[in-house]
C-alpha cells in the first residue's frame, strides 16, 4: 500500500511537470500495465481494481499538491533553467521508450506514425500563442464546457507513456492558469475561505470531472492499440517525445539571458537528463 502510494506520488509529480510523462514513470516503475488493466476492468473486477487505483490516486494527489507551488515559483524566478530542466527530463526519458522498438525492423508505417505525431506537437507550438495567453478561467457556461474538455485532453495524454499531459496544457494555454488556480484553492482551503473555495470549485470541478472521464475513456483505447499495434504506438510516442523540446522552446519566454543563466541552464539540462535516465532504468 505504502509502496503504491509512493509510486503514485512520482506519477503525480511527473504529470505536473511540462514535458515529463506520468505514463513513462508508470512504465519505468513497473505498474503501467496494472493501472491500465484496473481502469479497463473497473466494473468487472471492482475490488481488485480499486486496490490498485486508490493508493495510486492518493499518491498522485499528494504529488500534485506538494509540487504545484514550487513549479509556479520556478517558472517565475528561473524560467530558462526550469525549461531546460524539463527538456533534459524529456531527452533523458527517451531511451525508456526506444528500448521497446530496439532491434526491430523499421517499416513505412512506423515512420509515418512518428512523423504524424511529431507534426501534431510541433505544429501546435508553431501555430499556438505563448503559454497562458489564450486561457480564460472566468466563470461562464462556455468556459465550464471548455474546462471539462481540457481535463479530458490532459488526462488522456497523461495516461500515454512518453506524452506529457501538462505539456498539452501548456500548448493550449491552460497550464499556468490551472496551476495558479490549484494554488489559490489550497490557500483558500487552509484559510477556510468559503467564497474562495467555491470560486475554485467552479474551475477545478469541471476540469477534475474531465480528468476522471478522460482517463477511463482513453485507457481501453490504449489497451487495444498496444495489443494490436504496439510498434506503431511506440513510434508515435517517440515522435511526440522528440517534438516536445521544440515545442517548449517555441512556446515559452526565458527571461533575461546572461552567462550565469546559460551555465546554470546547462547544468539544469544535464541534471534533467540524468534524473530521467535513472527513473527509466529497468
> What's the pLDDT tens digit per position in 183-192?
888 889 888 8
Q: Residue 233: pLDDT above 80?
A: yes
Domain-embedded: residue 85:
no
Domain-embedded: residue 81:
no
Phi, psi (rounded to 5 degrees) for 273 = -60, -45
Domain-embedded: residue 75:
no
Domain-embedded: residue 9:
yes
Domain-embedded: residue 47:
yes
Label residue 279 by pLDDT band (50, 70, 90): low
- Could you tell me if 231 and 102 are in contact, meaning their C-beta atoms sit under 8 angstroms apart? no
Domain-embedded: residue 209:
yes
Domain-embedded: residue 77:
no
User: In terms of pLDDT, which residue wins out, 163 or 74?
Assistant: 74
Domain-embedded: residue 274:
yes
Domain of residue 161, residue span:
2-70+90-279
> What's the pLDDT tens digit per position in 11-63?
888 787 765 667 767 876 768 878 888 888 888 888 899 998 999 989 988 88
Q: How many domains does the chain have?
A: 1
- Could you tell me if 239 and 116 are in contact, meaning their C-beta atoms sit under 8 angstroms apart? yes
> What's the pLDDT tens digit per position in 198-231?
988 988 899 989 988 888 888 888 888 888 898 9
Amino acid at each position: 500500500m505504502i509502496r503504491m502510494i509512493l509510486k503514485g506520488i512520482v506519477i503525480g509529480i511527473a504529470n505536473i511537470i511540462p514535458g515529463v510523462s506520468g505514463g513513462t514513470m508508470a512504465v519505468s516503475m513497473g505498474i503501467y500495465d496494472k493501472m491500465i488493466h484496473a481502469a479497463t476492468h473497473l466494473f468487472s473486477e471492482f475490488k481488485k481494481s480499486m486496490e490498485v487505483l486508490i493508493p495510486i490516486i492518493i499518491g498522485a494527489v499528494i504529488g500534485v499538491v506538494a509540487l504545484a507551488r514550487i513549479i509556479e515559483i520556478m517558472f517565475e524566478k528561473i524560467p530558462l533553467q526550469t525549461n531546460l530542466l524539463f527538456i533534459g527530463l524529456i531527452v533523458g526519458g527517451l531511451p525508456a521508450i526506444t528500448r521497446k522498438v530496439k532491434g526491430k525492423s523499421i517499416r513505412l508505417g512506423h515512420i509515418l506514425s512518428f512523423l504524424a505525431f511529431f507534426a501534431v506537437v510541433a505544429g501546435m507550438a508553431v501555430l499556438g500563442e505563448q503559454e497562458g495567453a489564450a486561457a480564460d478561467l472566468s466563470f461562464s457556461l462556455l468556459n465550464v464546457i471548455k474546462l471539462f474538455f481540457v481535463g479530458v485532453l490532459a488526462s488522456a495524454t497523461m495516461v500515454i507513456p512518453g506524452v506529457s499531459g501538462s505539456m498539452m496544457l501548456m500548448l493550449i494555454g491552460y497550464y499556468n492558469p490551472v496551476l495558479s488556480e490549484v494554488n489559490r484553492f489550497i490557500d483558500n482551503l487552509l484559510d477556510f475561505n468559503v467564497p474562495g473555495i467555491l470560486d475554485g470549485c467552479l474551475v477545478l470541478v469541471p476540469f477534475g470531472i474531465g480528468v476522471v472521464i478522460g482517463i477511463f475513456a482513453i485507457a481501453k483505447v490504449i489497451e487495444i492499440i498496444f495489443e494490436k499495434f504496439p510498434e506503431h504506438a511506440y513510434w508515435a510516442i517517440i515522435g511526440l517525445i522528440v517534438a516536445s523540446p521544440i515545442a517548449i522552446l517555441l512556446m515559452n519566454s526565458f527571461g533575461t539571458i546572461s552567462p550565469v543563466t546559460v551555465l546554470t541552464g546547462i547544468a539544469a539540462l544535464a541534471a534533467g537528463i540524468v534524473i530521467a535516465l535513472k527513473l527509466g532504468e529497468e
